[in-house]
């Protein structure tokens, strides 16, 4: 334990990486949450159905999650700094090309595939780098890093509406593409030696081998299923709540401010949940299921509140939803090392994103299809909230879930090569595989 604290101090350069994560996540998820403004513009400009337009954001989300595993693999082969900087360039390039789109296919490929690829190369490496730099304050550090998503959601929605009105949606996307290039500066802050904390290699065997073994472990599969169900409904309000509010009868800026209001409490939810979990009074997985269940309930209440035509009621529900959705996000990633161990965190995060990408791809178009079938978004939000609740229930089937104490940490994986057992260890000291093997033999003696 003392050795782990030495190699991953709670402070120092790790806090610089938290700032880098703060900025980069705002330019990834904060921007994705603001796409609801463009959703309305695209429906009017291309004269397509809500389902067809929904594929733009869903492809971007699914690509970000699908290519997160690629980001982890590239970090194994190359340098984390280079991977994140490349992702920042691709995300900006995709938005710049999207500003010149003449049909939906162009938007699918540019905003969806290309920008989504860039987001995938940024997200997992940045999160894993920050998590590997902390031990005791890991949940707080991740919560602070993710708090930028709420702040950017608050600022970006009215900003995007202003940009669209001033420069049209093409000019707005061009500006956002240039803004996204700042992710490259965030990647430049990652020190090369951070790689030694994240990647495992013994005798030429890399972490990808270990990642595959996670598919045979019940705790990981259960958790992945729960997060996937959560992912079906989690992003629906961010893409369709603005359109729903305008359909109800609120003005453009009042509709945009509803998402901004959710972004405000999102900030407090992320920080409060990280701080509360670090107190150690409750298990992180219990807090995660609590926030997830509450978020699902408030998603289902969003269209119900609009039936009263009361802007105040809808703002209140949005504030409550924003707090819970922000609170659960920090917990989702804080639980990961408890299930698979910090040694497999990079590959495990990438694989988790890959598995849940199917939900990211289908969730929003399903919501759009329900809107096309029913003529409003009520069924869309009810179904989305139901998926989130189902994800929360799935997590209660994790092993030792009802135990009040944290279960023992997962054992490090052991690979058998011929007749020799190789213990996988982190390259925290930059030691050669032969030195690690000799050290293991000395401990056995």
DSSP characters over 41-60: HHHHHH---HHHHHHHHHHH
Q: Which helix (H) or strand (E) holds 267?
A: helix 252-278
* pLDDT > 80? residue 9: no
Whether 273 contacts 143, CB under 8 Å:
yes
Question: What does the domain layout of the chain look like in residue ranges?
Answer: 14-189+208-397
Dump pLDDT digits (tens) for 132-161. Answer: 787 777 777 877 887 788 788 888 888 998
Pairing status of strand 414-417 against strand 205-206 = unpaired
pLDDT category, 205, cuts 50, 70, 90? very low
Residue 113: both structure tokens together:
């595939």
pTM of the model: 0.73
pLDDT category, 300, cuts 50, 70, 90? very high
Average confidence (pLDDT) over 153-178: 91
pLDDT category, 194, cuts 50, 70, 90? low
Query: Is domain 14-189+208-397 annotated with CATH 1.20.1250.20?
Result: yes
Dihedral over Cα of 242, 51, 115, 122: its sign: positive
Average confidence (pLDDT) over 308-320: 87
Average pLDDT, the chain: 80
* pLDDT > 70? residue 418: no
Provide the 10 A C-beta neighbour count for residue 264. 18
- Lowest mean pLDDT, pick from 1-10, 50-59, 334-343: 1-10
Percent of the chain with pLDDT over 70: 82
pLDDT category, 199, cuts 50, 70, 90? very low
β partners of residue 201: 206
pLDDT of the residue at 14? 83
- Produce one character per residue of 229-250: b if its CB has 16 or more CB atoms within 10 Å, e if not: bbbbbbbbbbbbbbbbbbbbeb
Which of 173-182, 201-210, 407-416, 432-441 holds the top average pLDDT?
173-182
* pLDDT > 80? residue 86: yes
β partners of residue 243: none
């Amino acid at each position: 334990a003392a050795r782990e604290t030495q190699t991953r101090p709670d402070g120092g350069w790790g806090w610089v990486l938290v700032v880098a994560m703060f900025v980069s996540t705002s330019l990834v998820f904060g921007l994705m949450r603001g796409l609801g403004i463009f959703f309305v513009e695209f429906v009017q400009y291309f004269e397509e159905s809500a389902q067809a337009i929904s594929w733009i954001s869903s492809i971007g989300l699914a690509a970000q999650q699908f290519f997160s595993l690629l980001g982890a693999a590239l970090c194994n082969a190359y340098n984390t700094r280079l991977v994140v900087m490349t992702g920042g360039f691709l995300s900006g390039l995709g938005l710049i090309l999207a500003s010149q789109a003449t049909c939906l296919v162009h938007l699918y490929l540019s905003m969806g595939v290309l920008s989504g690829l860039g987001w995938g190369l940024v997200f997992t490496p940045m999160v894993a780098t920050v998590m590997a730099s902390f031990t005791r304050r890991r949940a707080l550090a991740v919560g602070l890093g993710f708090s930028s998503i709420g702040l950017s959601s608050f600022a970006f929605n009215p900003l995007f509406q202003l940009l669209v009105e001033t420069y049209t949606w093409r000019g707005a996307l061009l500006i956002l593409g240039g803004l996204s290039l700042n992710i490259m500066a965030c990647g430049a802050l990652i020190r090369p030696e951070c790689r030694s904390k994240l990647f495992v290699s013994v005798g030429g065997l890399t972490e990808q081998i270990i990642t595959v073994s996670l598919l045979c472990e019940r705790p990981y599969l259960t958790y992945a299923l729960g997060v996937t169900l959560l992912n079906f409904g989690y992003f629906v309000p961010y893409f369709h709540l603005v359109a729903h509010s305008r359909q109800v009868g609120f003005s453009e800026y009042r509709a945009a401010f509803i998402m901004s209001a959710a972004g405000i409490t999102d900030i407090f939810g992320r920080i409060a949940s990280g701080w509360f979990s670090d107190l150690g009074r409750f298990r992180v997985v219990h807090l995660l299921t609590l926030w997830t269940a509450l978020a699902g309930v408030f998603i289902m209440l969003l269209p119900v509140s609009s039936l009263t035509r009361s802007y105040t009621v809808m703002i209140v529900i949005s504030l409550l939803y924003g707090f819970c959705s922000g609170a659960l996000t920090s917990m989702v990633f804080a639980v990961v090392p408890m299930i698979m161990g910090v040694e497999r965190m990079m590959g495990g995060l990438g694989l988790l994103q890959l598995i849940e990408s199917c939900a990211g791809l289908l969730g929003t178009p399903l919501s759009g299809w329900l809107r096309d079938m029913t003529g409003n978004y009520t069924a869309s939000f009810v179904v989305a909230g139901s998926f989130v609740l189902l994800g929360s229930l799935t997590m209660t089937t994790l092993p030792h879930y009802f135990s009040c104490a944290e279960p023992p940490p997962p054992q490090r994986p052991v690979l058998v090569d011929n007749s020799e057992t190789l213990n996988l260890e982190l390259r925290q000291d930059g030691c050669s595989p032969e030195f690690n093997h000799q050290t293991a033999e000395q401990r056995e003696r």
